[in-house]
């Protein structure tokens, strides 16, 4: 099973969502099934078919989240000794502006929140680089160069 790097905050969110799905959503679908069964003949019961589809989808999502929680490898924010690691906060310059990112696992990546996956092209280029290092990334707009200004 592949390890999934995740912060404690991210793991807590996954566990909370998993618990909600198991309790609230399962109960909701069980009620939908009871109601659909009360309509009678199941062979031509669209409400029953829909409730069964919803149940299958929910159970798939629960299984996926359980797998993710079990494979979670917590990101420990340790002393990075001046090198970019998963969990590092990085300040970069592209020559025009500064950009700050947190290097995280795939499940928590969110560009809007400035959370960059360590598997993304920029994340891969930054891993194990020291302050002052320069990296180049090929983007649809061409090559973009970044300089590492700060690592926390």
What confidence score (pLDDT) does residue 82 get? 83
pLDDT per position as a tens digit, 25-61: 999 999 998 988 887 777 777 888 888 999 999 999 9
CA 125 to chain centre: 20
The reply to whether the predicted model has a pTM over 0.75 is no
Task: Report d(CA 35, CA 31) in Å as an integer.
Answer: 6
Mean pLDDT for the chain overall:
90
Residue 140 has pLDDT above 90, yes or no: no
Coil/strand/helix, residue 89: strand
What confidence score (pLDDT) does residue 121 get? 93
What confidence score (pLDDT) does residue 98 get? 95
How many Cα atoms occupy the beta-carbon half-sphere of 109 within 13 Å? 15
Q: Where is 4: in which H helix or E strand?
A: strand 4-6
The answer to whether 121 and 127 are in contact (CB under 8 A) is no
Task: Report d(CA 14, CA 16) in Å as an integer.
Answer: 5
**Residue 70: which pLDDT band, with cuts at 50, 70 and 90?**
very high
Distances (CA, A) of 63 to 18, 28, 50, 58: 9, 18, 20, 9
């Amino acid at each position: 099973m592949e390890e999934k790097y995740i912060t404690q905050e991210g793991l807590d969110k996954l566990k909370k969502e998993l618990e909600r799905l198991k309790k609230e959503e399962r109960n909701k679908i069980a009620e939908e099934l009871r109601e659909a069964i009360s309509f009678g003949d199941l062979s031509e019961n669209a409400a029953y078919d829909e409730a069964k589809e919803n149940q299958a989808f929910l159970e798939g999502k629960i299984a996926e989240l359980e797998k993710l929680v079990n494979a979670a490898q917590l990101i420990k924010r340790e002393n990075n000794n001046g090198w970019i690691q998963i969990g590092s906060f990085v300040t970069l310059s592209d020559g025009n502006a500064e950009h700050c990112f947190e290097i995280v696992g795939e499940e928590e990546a969110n560009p809007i929140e400035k959370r960059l996956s360590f598997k993304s092209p920029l994340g891969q280029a930054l891993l194990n680089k020291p302050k002052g290092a320069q990296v180049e990334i090929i983007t649809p707009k061409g090559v973009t160069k970044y300089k590492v200004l700060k690592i926390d």
